[in-house]
Chain A
Amino acid sequence: MSQVLSPGTSAPDFTLHVTPDQCLSLSEFRGRPVILAFYPADWSPVCGDQMVLYNQVRPEFLNHGAEVLGVSVDGAWCHQAFAKARNLHFPLLADFEPKGGVSKSYGAYREGDGVSERALFVIDKNGVIFWSYRSPLAVNPGADGILNALERLPS
């Protein structure tokens, strides 16, 4: 089982498709905290619940200046349909080509299964990982750990 990157590690930068014709880089968020939520698959029941929850809690994340980004190996078209069906207002990034490349760089890829782990990272405004957590695949980790981390971030 992979070991997710630990607090204190510089968060690897990346550029991924956020829509079929637009890309987004982690470095664009420098100056504010970012929540990276790696998850196995669009449409699966647990991932659906988890992303719907983060969508609902997003105003609280934004109160801390933080944006949440979902990451899975699904393609941009798949993300688009999933986001539309669940009314998601935050970006879903496609770790699609090379498959799982970003997930691997965070230690959040399941080689045998070919999907991202269910892993959370809170990255501070300087691009350093402040908190990370890998949840058992079948368990939706909720949002309490994220909010606790955001509250502990030095201002």
Chain B
Amino acid sequence: MAVLKVPVTSSDHIQGDAHAPVTLVEYGDYECPYCGAAHTHVQLVQKHYGSQLRFVFRHFPLTEVHPNAQSAAESAEFAGVHGRFWEMHDLLFENQERLSIQLLFAAVRSLGLSEAELRDALAEGTYMSKVRDDFLGGVRSGVNGTPAFFINDRRHDGPFDFPHLVAAIDTQL
């Protein structure tokens, strides 16, 4: 069974209690429709477990099939530097069907962040290496497609809807 090779650290995007008994790590791609569908289920799972669950999101953009996935991931990182990662994350998934460069700028604007700064960050590839590091760490951990979930460091190989995620997480509690 595939095991998470890159431990969760403070450089990750984390929601929930650091001492939660279960950590759910997702490797995802903002342009992947399966990740978009999973987003809603993950939110329900988070609500269901409350402080019992810590959630971590890492980037796994499949740029050869999803032309906007890399820019979207870098935009989320840009928002993250300003403390707005999760808001951007939600905006990207909620507007996935019309994901485009224009949408990234509109999303950043709606968060009150600077479009000019985002433009520079994308042009200079400021967050490219962070996204690449997430991707390569995922590959080393056996991520074989998106989304990929790890529950307490073990890859979850079943479906990723609410009932299946809950069934898998319950075994850890």
| A interface residue numbers (CB < 8 A to B) | 49-50, 52-53, 55-57, 60, 86-89, 139-144, 147
With contact pairs A142-B2, A142-B144, A144-B142 given, residues A60 and B136 touching in the complex (Cβ less than 8 Å): yes
Q: What are 23 A-B contacts defined by CB distance under 8 Å?
A: A49-B144, A49-B145, A50-B144, A50-B145, A52-B64, A53-B62, A53-B144, A53-B145, A55-B64, A56-B62, A56-B64, A57-B139, A60-B136, A86-B64, A140-B145, A142-B2, A142-B139, A142-B143, A143-B139, A144-B139, A144-B141, A147-B139, A147-B140
Q: A141 — nearest CB in chain B belongs to which residue?
A: B144
Judged by a CB distance under 8 angstroms, whether B63 is at the interface is: yes
Q: Which of A57, A87, A147 contacts B65 (CB 8 A)?
A: A87
With most chain A CB atoms within 10 A of its CB, the pick from B136, B139, B142 is B139
Residues in B with CB closer than 8 Å to A89 are 64
Min CB distance, A46 to chain B, in Å?
8
Nearest 7 CB-CB pairings of A with B:
A142-B144, A140-B144, A49-B145, A142-B142, A87-B64, A144-B142, A55-B64
Q: Given A49-B145, A52-B65, A139-B157, 9 more contacts at CB 8 Å?
A: A53-B145, A55-B64, A56-B64, A60-B139, A87-B65, A140-B144, A142-B143, A143-B144, A144-B140
- Chain B contact residue count (CB 8 A cutoff): 16
Q: Output the least CB separation between B142 and chain A (Å).
A: 5
Which residues of chain B come closer than 8 Å to A56, judged between CB atoms? 62-64, 135
What residues on A are CB-neighbors of B5 within 8 Å?
144
A143 to B144, CA, bound (A): 7
- Residues of B within 8 Å of A49, CB to CB, are 144-145
Interface residue ranges, B against A (CB under 8 Å): 2, 5, 62-65, 135-136, 139-145, 157
**A residues near B139, Cβ cutoff 8 Å:** 53, 57, 60, 142-144, 147
How far in angstroms is the closest Cβ of chain B from A51? 10
Residues on A with beta carbons closer than 8 Å to the beta carbon of B63: 56
- State A57–B142 Cα separation when bound (angstroms): 12
Bound-state CA distance A133–B63 (Å) is 27
| Cα of A82 to Cα of B9 in the assembled complex, Å | 39
Complex CA distance for A52 and B34, rounded to whole angstroms: 15
Chain B nearest CB from A84 CB (Å) reads: 12
When chains A and B are docked, how far (Å) is the Cα of A66 from the Cα of B61? 22
Q: A89 CA to B65 CA in the complex, in Å? A: 12
Docked Cα-Cα span, A101 to B118, in Å, equals 53
**In the assembled complex, how far is the CB of residue A132 from the closest CB belonging to chain B, in whole angstroms?**
18
- By a CB distance below 8 angstroms, the chain B residues around A52 are 62, 64-65, 145
Query: Using Cβ atoms and an 8 Å threshold, which residues of chain A touch B143?
Result: 142
User: When chains A and B are docked, how far (Å) is the Cα of A56 from the Cα of B70?
Assistant: 12
